[in-house]
Amino acid sequence: MKNEDLPSGGEKKLHVPQTEGIKYAGSKLKIIPQILDIVEGLPVKTILDGFSGSTRVSQAFAKNDFVTTSNDVSVWSETFAKAYLLNKEEPKYYQSLIDHLNGLNGYEGWFSEHYGAAENNGKKYPFQLKNTKKLDAIRDEIDRLNLPEVEKAIALASLILALDSVDSTLGHYAAYLSEWSSRSHKDLVLKVPKLFINEQENRVMRGDIFETIKKEKFDLAYFDPPYGSNNEKMPPSRVRYNSYYHIWTSVILNDKPLLFGKAARREDSRDEVAASVFEEFRKDENGHFIAMQAVRKLVNETKANYVLLSYSSGGRTTKEELYDILNTGGKLIKAKEIDYKKNVMANMRWTHEWVNSDGRHVEYLFLMQKQ
């Protein structure tokens, strides 16, 4: 299908679709309706989701028939994106594979050695042993089957979603609960993910966002970077996004890496190895937050007609600084503030104050048109 034949946001009513994903600290599930509301009416056909994370926003774009490119640095996000955005089959096509994996007998392997226990007696674990035994068997079998790319991604996505439903955590894997969670007692059971047949030729990329935006032009680029905290007391060694979900990286790669610390994190998830410039909370020699200078560079270098930027009240900047960044390379045409508790979107007023100065947990959406 030629690009000019594709439907655009300006030609049809967008709907808020069902999406699926793991528990995720940066999830935009609650504001997908507002994101689509802003996109609706724009003359766009191709969209880049530059920091796709759990891929819920990418799924929402794809289900509205936008030609969607999903990008993230994490291999588990890439796997979810392949499962949802590249699938061309009915969900029932994969049922026999899922049934086969569920029917395997579990055994104690690498995952059971490091992440499972029959009793939570002093040491904290993210999963009960009965479930890591199934994990060991299923993960090895997925490799043994030598599945096609998308089918393997769907099997792995199903496995991670199942593990996410029986974990004993607060939603991330930087620390584990001292007592077993109620859901951890359930048995690990895989299900076919909530897949959909993609009519468009979506793409999945994994890599640094600055490399991705060099490669081509999009009608709209949506960015939700992992902003640094605005807590002045936040230490340099704080846990970052890569560390929150280190187990998912190990499940995808099945590479049995070297581990460290009480949470048995991957060596390559250490801050000095896995840090993102967008999570940098320090200032440069000119007194500007390094993370926000990265946002400025991102907006300026992106080749797109429109840029939609999501910003959380937990980040570091003033509304005035954001306004300046967004007007440097184009024209700010919409600025919306979303109150999480009220789930209400309103127009913003620009003031020289911290974005979260009133203590509310809010999300900001900024739409700019590039020059």
Beta strands, E only, the chain:
46-49, 67-72, 116-117, 127-128, 203-206, 218-223, 259-260, 265-266, 304-312, 330-339, 344-347, 362-370
- Rounded distance between C-alpha atoms, residue 99 and residue 58, angstroms: 28
Question: Per CATH, which fold does 3-86+198-240+275-315 belong to?
Answer: Rossmann fold (3.40.50)
Q: Higher model confidence: residue 36 or residue 314?
A: 36
The HSE-up count of residue 191 (CA atoms within 13 Å, CB side) is: 11
Residues 281-306 have pLDDT tens digits of 667 766 666 777 888 899 999 999 99
| Residue 305, number of CB atoms within 10 A of its CB | 16
- Rounded distance between C-alpha atoms, residue 79 and residue 74, angstroms: 9
141-147, long-range: CB within 8 Å, 24+ apart, which pairs?
141/100, 141/101, 141/104, 142/101, 143/254, 147/97
Q: What is the mean pLDDT of residues 57-83?
A: 97
pTM > 0.75: yes or no? yes
Q: Higher model confidence: residue 284 or residue 178?
A: 178
DSSP state of 362: E
Residues 331-356 have pLDDT tens digits of 989 888 887 654 444 444 444 443 44
Q: 359, 268, 266, 367: which is closest to 308 by C-alpha?
A: 367
Please check the confidence at residue 357 and state whether its pLDDT lies above 50.
no
Token look-up 């029959």 returns 118
Q: What is the mean pLDDT of residues 211-224?
A: 94
Q: List the domain boundaries for the chain.
A: 3-86+198-240+275-315, 90-196+241-271
- Rounded distance between C-alpha atoms, residue 91 and residue 74, angstroms: 25
Q: 160, 162, 56, 114: which is closest to 259 by C-alpha?
A: 114
Please check the confidence at residue 234 and state whether its pLDDT lies above 70.
no
Q: 277, 300, 309, 323: which is closest to 48 by C-alpha?
A: 309
- Rounded distance between C-alpha atoms, residue 157 and residue 94, angstroms: 12
- Rounded distance between C-alpha atoms, residue 68 and residue 54, angstroms: 15
